[in-house]
Amino acid sequence: MFKKLLSYIIPINLLKINSELSQTLELTLINGELVLDSKNTNYSYGSLQRILRHGLKKIGFSKIVSMQEILILGVAGGSVIKTLVDEIKCKGQITGIELDEKVIELANNYFQLNSIQNLKILQGDAFEFVLRTKKQYDLIIVDVFQDTVMPTFLFESYFQDRLYSILNNKGYLLFNTMLLNETDDLRNKKYIKHFESKKGILLIIPRIEDHNELIVFQKN
């Protein structure tokens, strides 16, 4: 209790571990809330939860609550899952793909993701899963980072086309990106241009929490 109260004054570091994929992982109490960070960025809860919640709100909570199949690429501590389950009250199947085993352990041990009945977390590569899956999804959330680095496959046209193909008609894609320099900005513009050629509605939400840009696409 004392640490929780003190965290409203200064951040309280509770755990710091090394990860081959994410370098450093830290659990910190900030303003009474537990957050998961990598060395240079917020991985779950804190600013990231606000960012993805903003995107979900743009889609519409009333639409999301009735969705039957939701895919999350990049689980981390599961803040977006908590928004879906606790706030939006989603009852449909949620499938999360997370590459880093240590992140999954932290998510289960400290954020109790393994207690969510309609959630299945798979340890594995997001690219491989998207290529293999036979399912169609009502909502796909892409939030894949290794610290501040976004894997290049996320921006390959083949991967974009595959995401489009596994979206149900009227389904939504929510893609969280980070813009740190002009190269990142050009990368996003190229990505957006590719989706503009597809049947659907595209929404860009720029500069959330300074460096994040959300790309929202609804398939028609």
For 156-174, how does the pLDDT look when each residue is reduced to its tens digit (9 = 90+)? 999 999 999 999 999 999 9
The answer to whether residue 11 sits within a structural domain is: no
For 64-85, how does the pLDDT look when each residue is reduced to its tens digit (9 = 90+)? 999 999 999 999 888 899 999 9
Query: Structurally, how many domains does the chain consist of?
Result: 1
Single pTM value for the model: 0.89
The answer to whether residue 2 sits within a structural domain is: no
The rounded mean pLDDT for the chain is 89
Q: DSSP string of 56-122?
A: HHHH-HHHHTT-SEEEEE--TT-HHHHIIIIIS---SEEEEEES-HHHHHHHHHHH-GGG-TTEEEE
**Residue 170: what pLDDT?**
96
The answer to whether residue 112 sits within a structural domain is: yes
At 215, which CATH number? 3.40.50.150
For 110-139, how does the pLDDT look when each residue is reduced to its tens digit (9 = 90+)? 889 999 999 999 999 999 999 999 999 999
The answer to whether residue 8 sits within a structural domain is: no
The answer to whether residue 29 sits within a structural domain is: no
**Domain range holding 166?**
49-219
The answer to whether residue 35 sits within a structural domain is: no
The answer to whether residue 6 sits within a structural domain is: no
